[in-house]
Amino acid sequence: MASPTPGGPSADPTLPTTLSTLSTLTVEETEDQFSSLSRGRTWAIIACITCIPGIGNLLAGLLTVCIPVISTELHIPPALQLWPTAAFALACGCTLLLCGAAADVLGCRRVCLLGGLFQTASALGSGLAASSTQLITLRVMAGLAASLCLPGAVGVSARVFPATTNPRRRSIAFAAMGGGQAVGFGLGLALGGVFADTIGWCWGFYTTAILNAAVLALALWALPPAVDPSSPLLSRSTLSRLVTTIDWLGALLIGVSLALLSYELAIATSPTAALQMRNPLNPILLCVSLALLPTSALWMRRQTRLNRPALIPPTLWSHPPFTAVCITVFLVWGSLNASEQLAALYLQDIRHKSPLTTSLYFLPAPIGGLLMSIATGAFLPRLRASLAVPAACLVSGIAPLLFATLCTVTGPGYWAGIFQAMALNPLGADLMYTIANLLMTAAFPVGMQALAGGVFNMLAQVGKSFGIASSALVARQVTGGIDGGMDMDMEAVLKGYRAGWCFENTPFG
């Protein structure tokens, strides 16, 4: 069993012994190895663990704005237009926990670098895609890359910046990672229209691939190799621990459940949803996905009782702060992404703004997210999370209300509501991301901190998918199932968007 961190939370005594001893580094050894890092090396590490996951969100934002243009050029039918976006969330959500558990065994630095390599390849391939099948396949690869990058980056940060010796740098690192997520998505939305209206959408992916390759080269130097276990990657001892210390069946149960649930959410929001849901296979798959969730919980409870590896130890859910943070992250990230998705549709379909103009409208989102991250990193040691989190979520909840009450077919003007909504929208998610990462890495033993990052980011990804899908479903139901066309009633479509924004503000805001 890992030794308790001095002045911090101790390892949960009910955790399986094999899991709590995954890492061979003690807290004291970690402090000795990384306490002498130079300021330049420290900032390079923070830049890498911020940019590598953030670029994945940049690609998602880029695709959100460019998908109408891409669909025209690649002749993607309406029934498949949702899938390039949904495929990323599908692949990422159902593999995050497994990749997080693997990162604790193989090494967080190795896994993060591997994810960055996959991300570079998928971005380059997406720009070269010549069909919908190729694009969707590459977005699945991008989702797998994000599953490797996210827990790997969290694990690197938790090990390089221990809470006992570098609390300020640790806070700055997690604040930067949180800002990178929201800023990356907002920047992707902003740049997507610029590329689509100028040199072409494919150059957005090429430019991102070049940027990712540059960050990856920096990470090879900056991220300390001592973060990883001393044993070689493919040694017999490493492979043995990979087989024996990971709850593979638990990962399979959760992965299949989330994959099927994401698939059904995508089906429910597609233009042919009414027809496809009449297919007996889809209700069956939905029931299977829902049944696998309690099944996986029972399995992990059994594993814990037998002192065997459990993917997510059930005792963690008995801690009120942990449970509250998980629920809040799920809801806040769902609200953020659904609100931005509906705003992009409103500006292009209702206001008939060009992709370039739409991108400029989204600029306050990444700027606001960046400012929030800077403020969080500076003041986090003195912030009371019990007050800061509800306040930030309340402020962010104003954004969908502004969209719902002020947006009409002809207005409002940019400075009369849209700017304010765009700027306020990411604030709650940014603060919540930082605080959640700090709490989760403190709640897990040292050898499970990458898995903790996987737990958190899985909830954020699933929340994103559920938020977008449920809001789109509400909008379609209120609109009356309009499929589109030149004779579309814009007022009816706008009424659906308003319902979606109001829905986000009640359970998600």
State the CATH architecture for 38-225+242-246+311-508.
Answer: Up-down Bundle (1.20)
Look at residue 307 and tell me whether its pLDDT is greater than 90: no
Look at residue 506 and tell me whether its pLDDT is greater than 90: no
Q: Rounded to whole angstroms, what are the CA distances from 65 to 176, 204, 276, 347, 497?
A: 25, 11, 26, 11, 17
Q: Residues near 17 by Cβ (< 8 Å), separated by ≥ 6?
A: 1, 307
Distance of alpha carbon 445 from the chain centroid? 23
Q: Which two tokens stand for residue 162?
A: 């221990």
Percentage of the chain with pLDDT > 90?
6
Quick one: pLDDT band at residue 27, thresholds 50, 70, 90? very low
- DSSP string covering 225-266: GGGS-SS-TT-HHHHHHHHHSS-HHHHHHHHHHHHHHHHHHH
- pLDDT tens, position by position, 173-196: 877 877 777 778 778 877 888 888
CB 409 within 8 A of CB 494: yes
Which of 72-86, 112-126, 374-388 is most confident? 112-126
- pLDDT tens, position by position, 150-159: 888 888 887 8
What pLDDT score does 218 carry?
92
Give me the residue label for tokens 């997406």.
126
User: DSSP character for 78?
Assistant: G
- DSSP string covering 192-237: HHHHHHTT-HHHHHHHHHHHHHHHHHHHHHHS-GGGS-SS-TT-HH
Whole-number mean pLDDT of the chain? 77
Residues of the chain with CATH 1.20.1250.20: 38-225+242-246+311-508
- pLDDT tens, position by position, 243-287: 777 888 888 888 888 888 877 777 776 666 667 777 788 888 888
Which of 379-383, 387-391, 401-405, 463-467 is most confident? 401-405
Look at residue 20 and tell me whether its pLDDT is greater than 50: no
- pLDDT tens, position by position, 35-69: 667 778 888 888 888 888 888 888 888 887 787 78
pTM listed for this prediction: 0.74
